[in-house]
Amino acid sequence: MEKTVNQKAWFLVLPVLVLVAFSAIIPLMTVVNYSVQDSFGQNNFFWAGLVWFEDLLHSPRMWNALGRQVVFSSIILAIEVPLGIFIALNMPKKGLWATVCLVLMSLPLLIPWNVVGTIWQVFARVDIGLLGYTLDSLGVDYNYTQGFYAAWTTLIVMDVWHWTSLVALLAYAGLQSIPDAYYQAARIDQASRWKIFRYIELPKMSGVLTIAILLRFMDSFKIYTEPFVVTGGGPGNATTFLSIDLVKMALGQFDLGNAAAFSIIYFLVILAVSWVFYTVMTNLDKKDGV
Amino acid sequence: MAWMAWTVPTALFFVFITALLAIFTVLAVKYPETPRIGMLRIETTRGDRLFITLLGSAFINLAWLGLTNVTQWGAVVICLIYAFAVFRWV
């Protein structure tokens, strides 16, 4: 049957477009305008061309922050995605315990970022924090305000604690949507546990996992509040991720032009990586016929 | 609008992007298309190819700026060649 083409439905998108224009497009345009000018305060701007971009591309400061950011996002994705899938596979499928698990898993997601930062900042302190004090008593050389590895470990464990539930809940939703018939067929074929996971569960979860990976990548790549509260970017610059560096530049030094150019490069990197993730995963889906 | 700190070159840049989006929207309505699979082995429509072109062009410009001292128009020429390649083969 021929489908009716009715483009009028697009008008229904208009309110969203207006909202997005105010919350994202207009601010982004302003950032582009700032990035090619210099400002000495009082809203006086002077044309600077592409100088800020050139400065940034030759500055080790931005490349180092970008490097730290990539390493951080890669580590947390490598931990949270498999761990989330593992938890989802082991959660009860129905009954009271399923509900209890779901509530417990959702708890970390409900806590605001700065509170998570504060919890871990206290928790990891050597003098009064349970974690820091215990590690110190066991003779582990742990001090996240001074040690590079301690600071990184604290931030990674904190992020895993905060966000693995998101991956687990999404994977769990994917698993719940698999009809029993698939498992019955697998049992008849005497498929091993690994084969059931590889050929039934994983393909059926791939849609929600795409969303989980995208969300976790974008969020971790933009992370600001938690490391700002826990380590403040230190020790030295050890945990100065892109957004921390950007805020230092924009609000600490008030270098609007420089910070605007930084924001645009930052935005382009996120856009490019997200697009690659999305494209690769949606195309894998199509190939698998899922 | 003063708070947005507009300049003529950035205004022209956004007019150009908006015009491109408008043209591609009109094209999509007037001449609907079926997605095709090109050399990247992914399904793309005209809109996807425009996105790949614009995003790639941004990185070409940044790379040119960071790696050479030659005028930025060189990057624009490469972007045009890149755009042609994307629309022809991707």
> Structural domain tally of chain A?
1
| A104 part of contact set with chain B, CB < 8 Å | no
Please report the pLDDT score of residue B34 as a whole number: 82
3-class SS shares of chain A: helix, strand, coil, % to 5: 75, 0, 25
| B51 part of contact set with chain A, CB < 8 Å | yes
Please report the pLDDT score of residue A274 as a whole number: 86
If one compares A262 and A1, the residue with the highest pLDDT of the two is A262
Chain B residues lying within 8 Å of A50, measured CB to CB: 65, 72
- Structural domain includes residue A37: no
User: Quick check: B62 and A271 CB within 8 A?
Assistant: no
- Structural domain includes residue A169: yes
Quote ipTM for the complex. 0.91
- Structural domain includes residue A7: no
Domain that holds residue A217: 53-288
With CA atoms as reference, the chain B residue closest to A28 would be B4
Beta bridge partners of B44: B36
- Structural domain includes residue A190: yes
Chain B residues lying within 8 Å of A286, measured CB to CB: 43
- Structural domain includes residue A19: no
User: Quick check: B55 and A268 CB within 8 A?
Assistant: yes
Q: How buried is A156 (Cβ within 10 angstroms: 0-12 exposed, 13-18 middle, 19+ buried)? A: middle
User: Quick check: B4 and A30 CB within 8 A?
Assistant: yes
- Structural domain includes residue A248: yes
pLDDT digit string, tens, across residues A232-268 = 887 888 889 999 999 988 888 888 889 999 999 999 9
DSSP B9-67: HHHHHHHHHHHHHHHHHHHHHHS----EE-TTSSEE-HHHHHHHHHHHHHHHHHHHHHH
Nearest by CB to B65, from A33, A34, A54: name it. Answer: A54
If one compares B4 and A110, the residue with the highest pLDDT of the two is A110
**Host H or E run for residue A45:** strand A45-47
Mean of the per-residue pLDDT values of chain A: 89
**Domain containing residue A242: CATH number:** 1.10.3720.10
Q: Domain limits of chain B?
A: 2-89
Put simply, the chain A residues between 48 and 67 with a CB less than 8 A from any chain B CB are: 50, 53-54, 57-58
Q: Is the pTM of this model over 0.90?
A: no
- Structural domain includes residue A45: no
pLDDT digit string, tens, across residues B3-53 = 788 999 999 999 999 999 999 989 888 888 888 888 888 888 888 999 999
- Structural domain includes residue A34: no
